[in-house]
Structure 1
Amino acid sequence: MNPDAKRFGHGTKFISVMDILNNQFIRYDNIRASVEVIAGDIETYGVNYGDILFQRSSETLEDVGQANVYLDSKPAVFGGFVIRGKSKGNYHPMFFRYLLASPTARKRIIVKGAGAQHFNIGQDGLSKVYLDIPSIQEQEKIAKLLECIDDRIATQNKIIDKLQSLIKGIAQNITCSNKPNVHISECLECSSSTLQESDVFEHGAYPVYGANGIVGYLDNYNTENEAVYIIKDGSGVGTVSYVTGKCSATGTLNILQAPNGYSLRYLYYLLKVFNFEPYKTGMAIPHIYFKDYGKAKIFCPLYSEQLKYATLLSTIDDKLSTEQDILKSLNLEKQYLLCQMFI
């Protein structure tokens, strides 16, 4: 279904590729778009409970043919970049959702994709994908197990979101409830590095950080004890991270350190909620410069008070790291099961 733009915005829910990719499963209420249907649309393009929706095309071969399942009684319709699969036999819809996300199924689907700059898969290609399917009883057991893990993952994500919101809320409360009294340049010293990602190695004694975390290793370092790294240009400009120990930063980061009388950990949490927007320069690639945002004032209480705030926020941050590790373990467990149960 490829309606013109005037028909969008109201009416029946319209399933697009984004609904396939961004939901654990598709329900009527979590479909983003709506469209005004005309006579025959529901009969021709209708999606009902248990139907499988495939992504027809993608900019990368690895994403072509990704699938999801519709689990609602209200009929929806699907768009032109989506392929609908309807039942020809008895199957458990959520089992099929997991089966089609398994590494085995993905490999067999991806090879059916074709294209150069844009990759596509058609109904003929999908129909040639061979998959081993157990009895309906086994399908139900497998689906139930994996749904339990997904529910646990969803709960873990909520725990992480709440901890992140708590840290942000406390830092914003400190900022909003107190009058700024110190220029950033008074409580932080800024330095930079000429190190490039091409200069680092796969192995070494000390980690090297770039805009996206550790990018390699070296046998020497330019930071020891503690530092705040801040991205000074690009899409992540203004993002800060706190590091300890001997390490290095690439040239895309500025290195911030605190003189005596200031807690770097406290300042790190304030910088996480600091508004860098007024200090960004450049059109295509935004930049920030310490000489500019260093003139801004923030609230710095007595050193003893800074330490109290830093200790509180660090405790929550440690809890956040623990919960994030649990999430990683749950995702690894799910991936292991997807590999082992679908061969």
Structure 2
Amino acid sequence: MGEWEEHKLEDITAEIGDGIHATPIYDDNGTFYFVNGNNISEYGITITATTQTVTEEEALRNNASALNSYSILLSINGTVGNVALYKNESIMLGKSACYINVSSNINRNYIFYYLMMPKCQFYFTSELTGTTIKNLSLKSIRKTKVLLPNANEQSKIARLFDAINERIATQNKIIEDLKKLKSAIVEKVFCSPNQEYPMCRIEGFEQALSTYKMSDFSSRIASKNKDSKCSLVLTIAAQYGLVNQESFFNKSVASDNLTGYYLLHKGEFAYNRSYSAGYDWGAVKRLDNYDEGVLSTLYICFKINETIVDSDYLAYYFESSKWHKGLSDIAGEGARNHGLLNVSITDYFNTKHRFPVIEEQKAIAKMLNTITEKERKATLLGECYQKQKQYLLRQMFI
């Protein structure tokens, strides 16, 4: 019922301010976290291992006392536009975060979701200043236009988004629990019998494990991309496997001439010797999402003999700490040079591995595949909830 009224954000708030622009006095024993824009997300304030702390006295002397049950936090420098509801956390704000204290007669959660609306986010983007590091001024924030329905409708809209957010958070927890479960099983299955807990075995299989060199069950791929037959350049992303390089980096970092690149087919493996930021140490991934692709010669590519080792089993084995530790041991302390791990191809294929019989491998892989499939479906459902929320953010606010 009734028309929506247009207001400036400054007219429906008690105070809008930002964090301190100076370096605070840090204290390792402090009880208040020093929070900036990169700590802010719609699901709350994220505290990491690198988040600094200050004393309560330092926090209250600055801006901690300005925060209350009506406060919304907004990232305004570098990362711009992230919002979070203040939930009485012990924090002090830095210059890349601001606080918006909503008037007591306005529904805070309604404003919280309104600030996430694409139209509002577009306004923030249009108001950015600076060249290298973008900044959103308090003046622009205060002038943000907000359309308000009556109090009852504000409350209903806020409750709807609260319910969606809660379901998304629950779905994220389900996905995270499945990842932890799979990781725990991988470690239990592949850990060395000499460690404090024994290697997990599948019931009904009692045969001793056999030791193989990598060269016993795999062979190196050295065939090149003749005449640049394939144009899909791949890269290893630790969390996603072998992916399209251009899509992953949002640009191509490959050579213009792809004839010297290795040609990899679906089901074959690649080992990444790079240890730079964003890569997994010792990452080995199987090509699953494409029929073929090309890789730089900095990779070691290989295919396996599936009469000895099951491909799915091996893919999980390469996720285990046992694999990573074994590779680290042969690399040695002085092996890092120019962004590469100096593991020679000979040493790589001479690494030794202990596997159960192929039937037990398949049973283990089947168990882990079941969890992987549940994780995949849970992730797809989570993405649907996110799309639903984004659709409603576009449609619910006029």
Q: TM-score range by the shorter chain?
A: 0.7 to 0.9
How many Å separate the matches in 1 of 2:265 and 2:91?
Answer: 58
| Cα distance, 1:70 vs structure 2 | 0.9
Change (3 A) 1:193 1:57: farther
- Closer/same/farther in 2, CA of residues 144 and 170 from structure 1, 3 Å limit: same
1:256 is aligned, of 272, 292, 302, to: 302
| Percent sequence identity over aligned pairs | 22
1:210 is aligned to 2:235: yes
Q: Which residue of 2 aligns with 1:49?
A: 69
Residues 61-86 of structure 1: CA distance to partner in whole angstroms, max 9, x if unpaired?
A: xx3243322133x7754223322222
Figure out how many residues of one structure are paired with residues of the other and give that number. Answer: 328
Structure 2 residue matching 1:131: 3-state secondary structure: strand
Q: CA offsets per residue over residues 139-175 of structure 1, 9 Å max, x none?
A: 2222222222222222222222222222222222222
Is residue 228–residue 264 contact of structure 1 (8 Å, CA) maintained in 2? no
Residues 88 and 113 of structure 1, relative CA distance in 2, 3 Å threshold: same
Aligned residue for 2:301, secondary structure, equals strand
Question: What residue number does 1:204 align with?
Answer: none
Judge conservation of contact 1:208–1:247 (CA < 8 Å) in 2: no
Structure 2 CA distance for partners of 1:253 and 1:149, relative to 1, 3 Å: farther
1:90 aligned partner: 105
Secondary structure of the 2:287 match is strand
Point out the more displaced range, 209-218 or 78-87: 209-218
Instruction: Identify the residue that residue 230 of structure 1 maps to in structure 2.
Output: 271
* Matched AA of 1:70: Y
Residue number among 132, 138, 149 corresponding to 2:153 in the alignment: 138
2-structure distance, mates of 1:103, 1:214? 29
Quickly say closer, same or farther: Cα 1:35–1:118, change in 2 above 3 A. same
Find the counterpart in structure 2 of residue 147 from structure 1: 162
Counting only pairs closer than 5 Å after superposition, residues 1-343 of structure 1 correspond to structure 2 as: 1=20, 2=22, 4-7=24-27, 9-21=29-41, 24-26=43-45, 33-36=52-55, 37=57, 41=61, 46-58=66-78, 63-72=79-88, 76-88=91-103, 90-176=105-191, 177-178=198-199, 181-191=211-221, 209-212=234-237, 213-215=243-245, 222-224=263-265, 226-233=267-274, 234-235=276-277, 236-237=279-280, 238-244=282-288, 246-251=291-296, 253-259=299-305, 260-273=307-320, 274-275=323-324, 276-278=327-329, 281-283=335-337, 285-287=339-341, 290-343=345-398
Query: For structure 1, which runs of at least 5 residues remain unmatched after alignment?
Result: 202-206
Q: Tell me the distance in 2 between the aligned counterparts of 1:315 and 1:228.
A: 22
SS at match of 1:124: helix
Query: What value does the CA root-mean-square deviation take over the aligned residues?
Result: 3.5
Provide the rounded CA distance (Å) in 2 between the counterparts of 1:293 and 1:108: 54
Structure (1/2) with the larger helix percentage: 1
Identify which range, 279-288 or 301-310, moves more after superposition.
279-288
Alpha-carbon distance in 1 for matches of 2:378, 2:64: 46
Range that drifts further, 230-239 or 124-133: 230-239
**Distance in 1 between residues matched to 2:369 and 2:58, nearest whole Å:** 58
Q: Structure 2: how far apart are the matches of 1:53 and 1:225? A: 47
Give the alignment's TM-score, normalised by structure 2.
0.70
TM-score normalised per structure 1: 0.80
Instruction: Give CA deviations for 1:158-217 in whole Å, capped at 9, x if unaligned.
Output: 22222222222222222223477222232222325766xx9966xxxxx76433413479
One-letter code of the match for 1:191?
I
Output one character per residue of 1:72-126: Cα deviation in whole Å (capped at 9) or x when no partner.
Answer: 3x77542233222223462222222221122111101111110011111221121
Q: Retained in 1: the 8 A contact 2:222–2:301?
A: yes
